[in-house]
Amino acid sequence: MKADKRKLEIAMANSCMNTEDLQKESGIPRPSLNNVICGRSVRPGTIGRVAKALNVKVTEILAE
């Protein structure tokens, strides 16, 4: 699964989070979070934790 970088940035802005805040809130290791942010393929659980930390549905940040 891949996150859409623009959608992810919008969700982060709506949640008033920067990358460091998102890393702390999601509990995801920084290298894995960087993969999400860069739009690389990650495990469903990883993108799920990011969505949960941002309080959005996974479908709101997925690349199409």
pLDDT for 52: 97
Domain that holds residue 11: 5-60
Binned average pLDDT, 10 residues per bin, the chain of 64 residues: 96 96 96 95 96 97 93
Cα 16 to Cα 29: distance, rounded to the nearest angstrom: 20
Cβ atoms < 10 Å from Cβ of 53: 21
What three-state secondary structure class fits 35? Answer: helix
pLDDT for 24: 96
- Whether 37 and 3 have beta carbons less than 8 Å apart is answered as yes
Total count of domains within the chain: 1
Enumerate the β-bridge partners of residue 60.
Answer: none
pLDDT for 64: 86
- C-alpha 46 chain-centroid distance: 8
- Residue with structure tokens 């993108």? 47
CATH of the domain at 25: 1.10.260.40
